[in-house]
């Protein structure tokens, strides 16, 4: 993971469980509301992020019964902010009664 990349861990209901410093800085590009973490609700996240996370979760559910989920690496470029962000999503299936989780990596796209 590049030094300026941010990482977020989200629950299957898209609540933020963890957000590192670089992710907070990158999320600030979407507006001042993201300074409220960890109290940020899924409804207040940018639509591109919720749609992306929905896609990661649906792919995870589709592959959960097989071991194909281990190779799940979904990518999308978000041009809503400057610099543009490469979104990378990884899924972790339900294990030992724990709900599925997502890891979202935010990487600035440098030209």
**CATH code, domain carrying 65:** 3.30.450.20
**Boundaries of domain holding 89:** 6-108
Q: What confidence score (pLDDT) does residue 43 get?
A: 74
Indicate the pTM of the whole model: 0.82
Q: What's the CA angle centered on 103, arms 98 and 108, to 5 degrees?
A: 170
Dihedral (Cα; 60, 62, 63, 64), 10-degree rounding: 70
Q: Which residue has the tokens 């724990």?
A: 98
Residue 27, in any domain of the structure: yes
Is the model's pLDDT at 40 over the cut of 80?
A: no
Residue 1, in any domain of the structure: no
Is the model's pLDDT at 69 over the cut of 70?
A: no
Residue 29, in any domain of the structure: yes
Domains in the chain, number: 1
């Amino acid at each position: 993971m590049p030094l300026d990349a941010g990482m977020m861990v989200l629950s299957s209901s898209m609540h933020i469980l963890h957000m590192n410093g670089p992710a907070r800085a990158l999320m600030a590009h979407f507006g001042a509301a993201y300074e409220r973490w960890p109290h940020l609700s899924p409804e207040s996240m940018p639509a591109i992020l919720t749609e992306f996370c929905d896609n990661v979760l649906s792919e995870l559910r589709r592959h959960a019964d097989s071991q194909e989920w281990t190779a799940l690496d979904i990518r999308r470029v978000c041009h809503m902010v400057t610099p543009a962000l490469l979104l990378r999503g990884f899924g972790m299936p339900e294990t030992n009664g724990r709900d599925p989780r997502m890891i979202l990596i935010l990487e600035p796209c440098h030209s």
